[in-house]
Structure 1
Amino acid sequence: MDRHTTNRNLRLLVIELFWASIAIACYSFAAAFLIQLGGSNLMVSLLTSAAALVNALTSIPFAMFLERIGNRRPWIIGSLLALRLGHIGLIFVPFLPAYRAEAMVALLLLINVPVALFNAGWLPMLGDIVPLAQRARLFSARNMTMGITVMTTTFLMGRWLDAAPFPANYQLMFALAVVASLLSTVYVARLTIPPSPVVERTAGRHRPTFVEVRALLRQQRSFANITINTLIFNIAFWMGTPLQPIYFVRELGASDGWLGVWLALISGGQIIGNLVWPRLIEKRGYSWVLLRAATASALYYFLIGAVPDLTLILLFALLFGAVSPGVEISHFNILLEVCPPERRAFSIGVFVTVMNVGFFVATLACAPLIDLVGAQALVLILAGVRLIGALLFVVNPVRAATIEIAKVH
């Protein structure tokens, strides 16, 4: 693509995320909503684990399906529209006479089918339309946009949820999220997306096979390494998704308003991090930043487990937010570069599948582990697992020649 088209795409990618971030902020209260609907610890875990299961089962088939299609634009836009319209159902869940928590989990389970199809096209597309030299700054701009928007929205929504009566407070918030997400979809639809390479398949090879997955992992050592390292590293984050609302609300007595401030401070920290990490990436490279940011992120889990004070946890949230962009920007760019360009969709499909299997197991194991050792002890255990995962990037290194070349230039 020419420079004008590339720059236009970069602007659209930032603008669409502004509107999407409003929706993301609103939906971040989904676990608290489920708890107020009467959902158990297991139901809170299922809220995320069921979604991970759907993604695990569909990511590779969708990726291999899209590999045979040169014009992936209709599938990317169509799946995005479907998943965002699907969230309208959250507004009507409180009207059900019974099984409201179960209905909410089932709804989000169905929504994750188009989510998986969208990711199968969207993630490889970013590698195609965003030049490597501009990725760090683009992702930093997107992260800052998301950080500022999510910080503001979560703070305001937390206050709104405390002030307005239930369930109308959540219903109106989810209505706002739907409108904002549809505006985001409009800007995504304006992207110029070039045709993708098509992988021709012989007869009898239209279904995903373990042979192809095994061959990819054997032939692409760096891809296998980043998959293994990330799987271990993210266990704490995945299990922490249902664990933290349970720990904060049920054990420490946090309110919706406090959760809004907590989420806002994480986003505020991300704004700070996005000002610092891209400069360090330009000076030191992606791998250097990934190792240090990943190690620092484990500190957050140690702190919230060792110091169960809601006021201090807000400060720890700011720290976690500041560290997160260093992990996200460096990790995603390294992942894109270790995927073979001609099979990027399939490679990312395999990666997403493995991550979602881990996500499913981790979130589903959350409730019984809380019953076994307690929420606070589980947080401390996860801190240790997070640190081990970070150190794997030293023991089991990930090397990408294009990343090192980009650093030199």
Structure 2
Amino acid sequence: MLAALRGIAAPPDLPLIQRRNFLRVQIDAIGVGLASAAAPFLPIFLTRLGATSQEVSYLTSMPALTGLLLGIAIGQLLQKQRNIVRWFSAARFLVLLAYAVTALLIEVVPSAWLIRAILLLWALVTLPQTVVAVSFNVVMNGVAGPQHRYDLMSRRWSILGITMAITTAVAGQLLEHLPFPLNYQIVFSLLSLGSLISFAFSSKIELPPQPISNASRTNSVFTRLSHLLGQIWREKPFVRFVSIRFIFLIGTTLAAPLFPLYYVREVKASDAWIGIFNTAQTAVLLVGYFAWTMISRARGSRFTLLVTTFGVSLYPILVAHTHQVQVIALIAGVAGFFQAGIDLVFFDELMKTIPDGQSAIFVAVAQTLTHLSSFIAPIASAWLSDLYSLPIALTLSGIIRFLGFGLFLTLGRKDS
């Protein structure tokens, strides 16, 4: 059975160590999927506690602010570590364990202070989240190598998607049939057990030691920063890709805190239906990741990039114009198919533009731009939803995504 699992988890022609790493990455995805199934319910929980739009938006803006302020410094730190897997695994464990701590806070913190206590906890979690954001791409690229990024990530994200789909559906039913807030306490506690699975297998990933530049240890901060900026600017494909991706992500992160608010306040959806929305989106990822792997091989990365960004741009606009839960579930499923392609092509295209031996610091720069979009957009979304309405704010997020799609369309084939 284990041999069959290894055959599914990795292409058969890989060396033994790489096949083992593929398998560890896939089992890690199961643990991450179990724990991460709690993520869509955290803003819902805060909303039901009476949190404002601004407070809910902090769940997105706080990790973004930490990443924006510390992302490059953490990238420089990780670039100096020979064993980056250790940092990745420990940081991931701390992030996922936070759901268990959230459940504990429900028990011990008075209700008048509970929203603030939960937000403080997740503010502290932003530090290991930033470490994960930088180290994840480096570790996955090290496991996959330049020829097997689609193979690795389609498998990982498919397993992650189906695990989250099943777990989210079950969690939604538990939340529906148990009294509040005990239901959230039980769900957060049970799902956080996935952190143990994740740590047990991700910590065993075997990668060669990272090369360490002596200059990065001896030069002044100003000299290193000047050298870094010059080095980044010389990598024109990297600069062009991350700049356009930044605009597209503004549209994506603008909608992130709006969806749970729209489901609760406009649609009046139950926890069970909200679980179905997330299940529909993540379940389709299983098909989408393998489909886009084959499509990309047949049609190329440029085709995948353009079709997927166009499809995902429609998602918030369509949701904003319906209150029917069945229609929203259908739209979420279709959006999940296109999102699978974006996950794959963004990862592959980013790593293509990064020079050898500089993965950690270049990924840190790319993540800093991602965090900048995640910091600006949710604050703007809260302001827009209060000033106008949730449907208008969701529609605007789709328009910004279409702007990103148009800029990707202008990229020459050699750049994508």
- 1:84 maps to 2:96: yes
1:387 aligns with 2:390: no
Once residues 346 and 147 of structure 1 are traced to their aligned partners in structure 2, the CA distance between those partners, rounded to angstroms, is 28
Residue number in structure 1 paired with 2:142: 128
Give the number of aligned pairs.
Answer: 400
State the one-letter code of the partner of 1:99. W
Question: Which secondary structure does the structure 2 equivalent of 1:365 belong to?
Answer: helix
Pairing 1:160–2:183 present? no
Check the 8 A contact 1:222/1:397 in 2, yes or no: no
Q: Residue 108 and residue 397 in structure 1: after superposition, are their counterparts in 2 closer, same or farther (change >3 A)?
A: farther
Find 2:160's aligned residue among 124, 143, 146: 146
User: Residue in 2 aligned with 1:35?
Assistant: 47
Alignment of 1:1-400 (within 5 A): 3-94=15-106, 95-97=108-110, 98-200=112-214, 201=216, 203-206=218-221, 211-397=226-412, 399=414
Alpha carbons 2:319, 2:328 under 8 Å: kept: yes
CA contact (8 A) 1:27 1:177 kept: no
Change (3 A) 1:398 1:116: farther
Mapped contact 1:17–1:184 kept (Cα < 8 A):
yes
Question: How has the CA–CA distance of structure 1 residues 204 and 270 changed in structure 2, closer, same or farther, with 3 Å as cutoff?
Answer: same
Q: For 1:125-147, what per-residue CA distance to the aligned partner results, in whole angstroms no more than 9, with x for missing partners?
A: 22222122222122111121112
TM-score normalised per structure 1: 0.93
Deviations 1:322-380 (CA, angstroms, capped at 9, x unpaired):
11111110110110110111211110101101110110110111111111121111111
Instruction: Tell me the SS of whatever aligns to 2:220.
Output: coil
SS at match of 2:272: helix
Structure 1 CA distance for aligned equivalents of residues 303 and 398 of structure 2: 21
Q: Distance in 1 between matches of 2:132 and 2:287?
A: 30
Hey, what's the Cα distance between the residues in 2 that align with 1:70 and 1:249?
Answer: 47
Task: Percent identity, please.
Answer: 25
CA deviation after TM superposition for structure 1 residue 220, in Å: 0.7
CA deviation vs aligned residue, 1:90-124 (integer Å, no higher than 9, x gap): 01222311221111111111111012123332321
Q: Does the Cα contact within 8 Å between 1:44 and 1:242 map onto a contact in 2?
A: yes
Alpha-carbon distance in 2 for matches of 1:398, 1:360: 31
- Aligned-pair CA distance for 1:82: 2.8
Partner amino acid for 1:82?
Answer: L
Distance in 1 separating the partners of 2:114 and 2:223:
36
Stretches of structure 2 lacking an aligned partner (at least 5 in a row)? 1-13
Deviation at 1:191, TM superposition (A): 1.1
Structure 1: distance between partners of 2:197 and 2:135:
20
Change (3 A) 1:398 1:230: farther
Superimposed CA distance per residue, residues 224-245 of structure 1 (whole angstroms, 9 cap, x where no aligned partner): 1111111111122212111011
| Alignment check: 8 A CA contact 1:301 1:379 kept | yes
User: Are 1:83 and 1:111, in contact at CA under 8 Å, matched by a contact in 2?
Assistant: yes
TM-score by length of 2: 0.92
Displacement of 1:308 after TM fit? 3.4
Find the aligned partners of 2:34 and 2:177 in 1 and give their Cα distance.
19
Amino acid at match of 2:15: R
How far apart are 1:148 and its partner, in Å?
A: 1.2
State the 1:27 CA deviation. Answer: 2.3
SS of aligned partner of 1:69: coil
CA shift, 1:71, in A, is 2.5
Instruction: Read off the aligned partner of 1:79 and give its amino acid letter.
Output: A
Give the Å deviation of 1:30.
Answer: 0.5
The 1:47/1:99 distance shift into structure 2, 3 A limit, reads same
Comparing 160-169 with 127-136, greater Cα deviation is found at 127-136
Q: Report the secondary structure of 2:193's partner residue.
A: helix
Return the alpha-carbon distance in structure 2 between the equivalents of residues 217 and 60 of structure 1. Answer: 12
